[in-house]
Chain A
Amino acid sequence: MRRRENTANREQAENITPPEYAVVFDNVSFTYASDEPFAVKDLSLSVRRGEFLSVLGHNGSGKSTLARLISGLLIADKGKIGVWGLDPADRRQVNEVRRHAGIVFQNPDNQMVASIVEDDVAFGPENIGVGREEIGNRIQWALETVGMEEYRNSTPTRLSGGQKQRIAIAGVLAIKPDIIILDESTAMLDPRGRKEVVEVVRKLNKEQGMTVILITHFMEEALLADRAVVMNRGELVAEGTPEHIFEMGDMLETYNLTLPEIGIIRKNLAENGIPLAPCLRADEFADELAKYVEENHIHFNCPAYMPQRTPYTGGKEWDISINNLVYTYSKKSPFAAHALKGVDLSIAEGEFFGIIGHTGSGKSTLVQHLNALIKLPQAEKKYKESKVKKGEQPPAKSEIYVGKYNLGDRKCAWKELRCDVGMVFQYPEYQLFAETVFDDVAFGLKNFRPDMPAEEVKKAVRDSLEVVGLNYDEIAEKSPFDLSGGQKRRVAIAGVIVTRPKILILDEPAAGLDPLGKREIMSLLHSLHGDWCSTVIIVSHDMDEVVENCTRACVVSDGKIFDCARPSELFRRGDDLRALGLDVPLTAKICESLAERGLKVDCDLTAKGLCEAIIAATRGGQANA
């Protein structure tokens, strides 16, 4: 039996020189339905062999359609596509096309066919009829390339998002493609996972010479590419080096993209008379600023930062206090896992509080205690006091108080508690179920206040839909499944705040959104905070999000509270946080880099605060007039 072992042999055998262009689009158009606008319109694009191209665009700009057209999952209506000299629209060639161009998709969970890592990686080579021994070699090679070789016999469900996505990349690599396409493969990952994946991709391009097409809405990722193109409404609107794209500045906003944060800071400084050369990273920025200070003989003296608010003021009606919270999953089974190992935490009424931690750090378990989705053991009906031997100290009990509710009390008013403590889960749009938006939003209200007159229900639903920025009259009678992604998430949030909870908890409220969507959701939360709900708690792994929005934050690591403070203080402990595998916000990195160059900047670590501090410092310590 003759089998084609890998690309190199194949090319030798058939004596084909690899083409100059890996992918060529020639005037391609595509639409999902004839009455819909074009998802891709008159697109022409060439990707050289060995090139690293990033495709930028907001959600719905047509960038994902691009990936599906390349691998023949979709067929263009008009125009011609060439992939490694082959035509993906030709049914006889499509399998060959897919051998050359592999795709890694967005959700790592939905790409895996097997319950064991090596079986999953073997799937591709099995499909193209690779011999047994060679499959074994390829699995080893692919897993080593993505740095996951020690997980060869693990179960993917127990891995983190970044690890799963690296397995998915290995699954594609095992086919030995020449082109690898990442279709928003980092959108659902935490910053650490994103870094892991991007690092692997960069290595593949630089060391293996693989052609990479990285589709993303994160500007920061596009930096690694040789070339970037911007898509908007199915059209290619800009192309050039990443630096060139970022220099477009405000133009990007018209394409629903946002400037990377460092660009915002540079722009702000330029407007205040401090022009700096283009830069993309924190250390480059520090270099530029140091150069500017030296060239202009500026006496750089930053005034000490005075926090304006004293955020933690306890003693109000809706304070939360948690004492020695311990929780173990699957107790008394071989899978027992200690999720929480003694958490002490106080959150005062009126705070915008951030809870930071990795996947699996215990942060989700922690917040699920706050509305008794997980009850304290002594509040369970079957609870029995464990016997304590004489002379021994009984183990300290876990206690939680949320406002007037004692969550350790068996007779606690659970329903009222859940009404007062609203909780929005991750990807809340996946929990919508009703026939109309109205019914879905009213669901909570009908559960908590079954006697509410219909008129009042209607008014409450109208109010909550409007506060999340949706038009009641347009949307109330629609099916929630006909809405766009961003609208669905808003409907889901409306469905929680409709009962006017005093405390609102959101688990990763901005997960999976593009930068503009993220910004909109955060400003929505600010408009709810204070007026609609007195306390807002967000669980997040995005440090920039926390530093820009929260009054106070805590870091959960390994089931314990590592630290709890104002973000400006918390993120000053950069080295400690990195030791936990967490990152610090860009602004903190800039401050660190500046300090290394002898420029001390003291600020609240928001982008705005950093700019103000730098401006004040360049004016010799005088406050900004």
Chain B
Amino acid sequence: MLKDVTFGQYYPVESFVHRLDPRVKLLGLIAYIVMLFVAKSFYSLALGALVLAFVITVSGVPAKSVFRSVRGILFLLAFTSLLNVFFHGGEMLLAEWGIIKIYVEGIIFAIFLMFRLVFIVMASAILTLTTTPVSLTDAFESLLFPLTLIKVPVHVFALIMSIALRFIPTLMDETNRIINAQKARGADFESGNIFKRVRAIVPILIPLIISALRRADELGDAMDARCYSGATKRTKYKKLRFGWRDAVAVLVLAVLIAGVILLNIYAAAIWPAAAPYMVIS
């Protein structure tokens, strides 16, 4: 039932992208998303696609895995984009039924939006495919560090997240074992109406909760015994390092951002005849 779930879908290969500082990847993703929202023309979008294709190639992750992440929410993306067809104004009227007016600009905008959303999902997928949840936690902790100045216990949040990640596979195994044990005793989780199915979860949930509480209790003792006493005076062993790869990545991003800004300014001038179709107003 839960056997094939691999959390975060991390794809374990060695690559340039895998070895980037997770902070660079996280900030890079944010920059990429901002760029997509700033972009005003299909030229910029093509540039974004180019960067995406380049990153996928050097990441060593099969393109199929990246596309798979889009498949699940494709319907949602299509629906959101389609909605814009009906509510986007413009000058080139295409069809009209009563109050509903469809403009060419609307269709162009819908296509533009669709690509924008697909790129965002794909870029996020590349992040989770190439970064372990653990390094993401480290990145969050490092990036949120300034908050400690206003007495936010960032370290405690990071520890909570790290422990949660640590126990996901353990509790998943446990859930599997409980499901199997109750199945062996004739429990049926796959048939019956919704109420029956919800009731069938009780024999899984109760042992799972009890086990989680027991584990928490023992973990607390083990942490105490290993001198844990809160966040004060703690040192940190792992330090994220900004290396030459990260410098390269930042450079690529900088070129991308500069490209988008330039394209935004000069988009209409590139091919004036096609401008109404290529540039989003």
Name A's B-contacting residues (CB within 8 A). 68, 71, 73, 95, 98-99, 102-103, 105, 107, 109-116, 118-119, 122-132, 135-136, 139, 156-157, 171-172, 175, 329-330, 333-335, 368, 371, 373, 415, 418-419, 422-423, 425-426, 428, 430-434, 443-444, 447-448, 481, 495-496, 499
Task: Pick from B3, B6, B134, B214: contact of A119, CB below 8 A.
Answer: B134
The reply to whether B185 and A113 contact each other, CB–CB distance below 8 Å, is: no
Q: Are A334's CB and B12's CB within 8 A?
A: yes
- Extra contacts, 19 of them, besides A98-B227, A131-B235 (Cβ < 8 A), are A98-B224, A103-B225, A107-B218, A110-B218, A112-B166, A115-B132, A125-B237, A129-B235, A130-B235, A172-B226, A373-B180, A373-B183, A418-B183, A425-B177, A428-B181, A430-B178, A431-B178, A443-B187, A496-B185
Q: Is the CB of A110 within 8 A of B186?
A: no
How far is B220's CA from A184's CA once the two chains are assembled, in angstroms?
A: 18
Q: Which residues of A contact B207 (CB under 8 A)?
A: 430-433
Closest partner residue, chain B, to A108 (CB atom): B222
- A131 contact set on B, CB distance < 8 A: 235
| Inter-subunit contact B162/A114 (CB<8 Å) | yes
State the CA gap A110–B211 with chains docked (Å): 11
Residues of A within 8 A of B210 (CB): 430, 481
Pair A496/B184 contact, Cβ less than 8 Å = yes
Contact B166 A115 (CB under 8 A): yes
**Alpha-carbon distance A193/B224, docked complex (angstroms):** 25
Say whether B53 faces chain A, with CB atoms less than 8 Å apart: no
Q: Is the CB of A123 within 8 A of B184?
A: no
Per the bound structure, the CA–CA distance linking A447 and B163 in Å amounts to 37
* Nearest 4 interchain pairs by C-beta: A447-B186, A444-B185, A122-B237, A110-B218
Q: Contact: A431 with B4, CB < 8 Å?
A: no
Q: How far is the CA of A431 from the CA of B188 in the complex (A)?
A: 16
The answer to the question of B14 belonging to the interface, with a C-beta cut-off of 8 Å to chain A, is no
A426 touching B218 in the complex, CB below 8 Å, given contacts A95-B227, A132-B235 = no
18 inter-chain pairs at a CB distance below 8 angstroms, sorted by A residue, are A73-B221, A107-B218, A110-B215, A113-B163, A113-B166, A113-B219, A113-B223, A115-B133, A126-B235, A129-B235, A131-B235, A135-B235, A135-B237, A172-B225, A431-B178, A431-B207, A433-B207, A443-B186
Closest B residue to A450 by beta carbon equals B186
Could you tell me the distance between the alpha carbons of A251 and B221 in the complex, rounded to whole angstroms? 35
Distance from A219 Cβ to chain B, minimum over Cβ atoms (Å): 26
- Known A-B contacts A127-B228, A334-B11, A433-B207; the reply to A113 vs B237 at CB < 8 A is no
A373 touches B133 (CB 8 A): no
- With A113-B223, A425-B177 in contact, is A136–B6 under 8 Å at CB? no
Task: Contact check, B219 vs A126: say whether CB atoms are below 8 A apart.
Answer: no
Say whether A111 contacts B237, CB under 8 Å. Answer: no
Return B161 CB to nearest CB of chain A, in Å: 11
Which residue on chain A has the smallest CB distance to residue B239? A132
Closest to B206 in A: A433
* Separation of A156 and B168 alpha carbons in the complex (Å): 12
A495 near B3: Cβ-Cβ < 8 Å: no
Give A426 to B176 CA distance when docked, in angstroms: 12
Neighbouring B residues of A71 by C-beta, 8 Å: 224-225
Report B226-248 CB contacts with A as 1/0, cut-off 8 Å. Answer: 11110001111111000000000
B170 within 8 A of A: yes
**Which secondary structure characterizes the binding site on chain A?**
helix
Q: CB within 8 A of A124: which of B12, B226, B236?
A: B226
A contact residues around B124 at 8 Å (CB): none
Report if B165 contacts A (CB, 8 A).
Answer: yes
* A118 to B, closest residue via Cβ: B237
Closest CB of chain A to B120's CB: distance in Å? 25
Chain B residues 120 to 147 lying within 8 A of chain A, measured CB to CB, are 132-134
Return chain B residues, CB-CB under 8 Å to A499: 186
Most chain A beta carbons < 10 A, residue from B166, B203, B218, B219: B166
Determine the residue in chain A with the shortest Cβ distance to B13.
A334
Binding site for A on B (CB under 8 A): 3-4, 6, 11-13, 132-134, 159, 162-163, 165-166, 169-170, 174, 177-178, 180-188, 202-204, 206-207, 210-211, 214-215, 218-219, 221-229, 233-239
**Distance between Cα atoms of A425 and B181 in the complex (Å):** 6
Most buried by A among B3, B133, B185, B222: B185
Residues of B within 8 A of A68 (CB): 221
Most buried by B among A129, A130, A423, A447: A447
Cα separation A499 to B10 with both chains bound (whole Å): 44
Residues of B within 8 A of A125 (CB): 235, 237
Given contacts A113-B163, A330-B3, A433-B203, contact A171 B186 (CB under 8 A): no
Q: Are B236 and A126 in contact (CB under 8 A)?
A: yes
| B184 x A418 contact (CB < 8 A) | yes
The reply to whether B229 and A95 contact each other, CB–CB distance below 8 Å, is yes
Please tell me if the beta carbons of B222 and A98 are within 8 angstroms of each other in the complex: no
The answer to whether A175 touches B180 (Cβ under 8 A) is no
A419 (CB) vs chain B CBs: closest residue: B186
A292 and B169 alpha carbons, distance in the complex (Å): 56
Complex contacts, A126 vs chain B, CB 8 Å: 234-237
Task: Report yes or no: A447 in contact with B187, Cβ–Cβ below 8 A.
Answer: yes
Q: Determine the distance from Cα of A6 to Cα of B167 in the docked complex, in whole angstroms.
A: 31
Please, which residues of chain B bring their CB within 8 A of the CB of A368? 180
Q: Cβ of B184: which chain A residues have Cβ within 8 Å of it? A: 371, 373, 418, 422-423, 425, 496
- In the complex, how many angstroms separate the beta carbon of B140 from the nearest chain A beta carbon? 15
Contact status A175-B227, CB under 8 Å: yes
Nearest residue, chain A, Cβ from B183: A373
Measured CA separation A620–B106 after assembly (Å) = 104
Q: Which residue of B has the minimal Cβ distance to A440?
A: B203
User: Given A135-B237, A447-B188, A114–B227 Cβ distance below 8 Å?
Assistant: no
> Are B222 and A105 closer than 8 Å at their CB atoms?
yes
Contact B237 A171 (CB under 8 A): no
Given A112-B166, A126-B235, A433-B202, answer yes or no on A418-B6 (Cβ-Cβ < 8 Å). Answer: no
B182 x A431 contact (CB < 8 A): yes
B211 — nearest CB in chain A belongs to which residue? A430
* Residues in A neighbouring B169, C-beta threshold 8 A: 157
- Cα distance A368–B186 in the bound complex, in angstroms: 14
Chain A minimum-CB-distance residue to B134 = A115
CA distance A333 to B162 in the complex (A): 25
Q: How far is the CA of A444 from the CA of B169 in the complex (A)?
A: 28
Once the chains bind, are A113 and B159 in contact (CB under 8 Å)? yes
| Inter-subunit contact A114/B221 (CB<8 Å) | no
Partner of B134, one of A99, A116, A124: A116
A318 shortest CB reach to chain B, Å: 17
A83 to B38, CA, bound (A): 65
Which chain B residue lies CB-closest to A99? B227
- The residue on A at minimum CB distance from B4 is A330
Beta-carbon contact of B236 and A329 below 8 Å: no
CA distance A620 to B159 in the complex (A): 70
Residue of B nearest to A171 (CB): B226
- In the complex, which residues of chain B have a beta carbon less than 8 angstroms from the beta carbon of A448? 186
What distance in Å separates the Cβ of A443 from its nearest Cβ neighbour in chain B?
6
Q: By the criterion CB–CB under 8 Å, are A157 and B170 in contact?
A: yes
**From residue A375, how far is it (CB to closest CB) to chain B in Å?**
11
Output the least CB separation between A431 and chain B (Å): 4
Minimum CB–CB distance for A525 against chain B, Å: 17
Most buried by A among B162, B202, B225, B238: B225
**Contact, CB under 8 Å: B237 / A132:** yes
Residues on A with beta carbons closer than 8 Å to the beta carbon of B222: 103, 105, 110-111
